[in-house]
Structure 1
Amino acid sequence: LYEAGSARRKLFKKTPKPQQLSKLATVLKPYSSGLALHNVLSPAMPEITVAKQRDLEFKAEIVVNATRYEAVGQNKKIAKANVSEMVLRDLCLQHLSAQGDEEQQLDEVEPNSYEALLMTNVASFAVHKLLEEWNASLLAVNWQPTISSPSADGIKIRSQLPPNPTSYVPTSLLVFMVPQVKFENDGETILGSTDQKIYKARARVDGQCFFGTGSSKKLARMAAAQDACKTLFGVEY
């Protein structure tokens, strides 16, 4: 098997570079972190559980090789992607740290081995992540937001959402869309015998009030902004 693997590698090295690149292009397809991890761990891919947190975020959990991984995100999809990336990172770093002499190990990797599967999918995820960054940069350069005419109260509201609006924190998105939005503290309450304070906040937009609560003033404002973004712009976190 080793001799056969060496023969294949020598044949690949002798192949003209355009053909080598063509072969690599068929292998290195952009994969999200979730898909790449599924490819590596399949068919025994553990389930990723997602639970909503009190601070308006979602927490994703997965257990791989007796290690529990946790990551948060502003929605379920982002939380799952983040925890999948954490697992991929650890699997890759553990594999690299277990290597001895780099040249010797590269010669010993078989095309259909776990090492080849892992590194190919890590590379595919790296391509996916790079393309996402490039696309975000292009959208940021080419995107020109439009501002609607001022309302009767002189409030200017943007009529076009930015690319991927849920990647913004609700308060940041609301301020971006409505630069003149006003946040106000609306008091606090005490929960039973726990002495835990629950803060209230409101966001005023063009005569409308949106309310939110949270364990801190910041989270209360975020909840109010989330309500405003959903009502005014249809953005759901």
Structure 2
Amino acid sequence: MSTEKKYFERIAERGQLIVISGPSGVGKRTIITEYMKEHPNAIKCTSVTTRSPYAHEVDGEDYYFLSHLEFDRMIRSQQMLEYAYYNRNGYGTPKKAVEEAREAGHNVILNLDVTGAMKVRALCPDATLIFIMPPTWEELEERIRTRNTENPDVIADRLLIAQEEVLCAAQYDYILINDTVENTVRRLGQIIHGNRYSSTSMKAFLESYIESELQSALVDEVRSL
């Protein structure tokens, strides 16, 4: 097999970039975890943050915990795929980790809010954006209240943010209703599998093919005249 053909095969087998969004309490983490159990080729890139770790969190697994100086340095050197600040702490996705995983053929899954998802879409047009919806608003509200029983202000803030996020769902490529984890994981798998060779996912391959193969064919045709 020629080096050129191997190059095209490598581009064609490049992993997908999947962005998962949805309101707090909708079950995003559980869905991603269960999907990854069934599909070892999928990986979740660990984000970086400047906040202090909680007692149960492990550096390098839950987050990479950085100083504010280190975080700012990554931004200035354009090492972030996306980043944002919440409560004076920075959160971001390292660009290098995502690219290396995709080049190795892994499907990369990112759990991002709407703002982060739109930033990724602007930088990576071949990314697939999926929004997770609750079956009913009442069920989501109950989940949020159960998870944040200690602070009414936190509950009110999360409900307001959830409303704003749901209004942005139409900007995503796919919308999944999380009626049960099993059903949602199955539907997620169908989307990722069916999207593998879409024109959007194959954009890098197509651009390289046109630039190399078609231009070479045109040169050969001209020479034969």
Q: Same fold (TM over 0.5)?
A: no
User: Higher Cα Rg: structure 1 or 2?
Assistant: 1
* TM-score normalised over the length of structure 1: 0.24
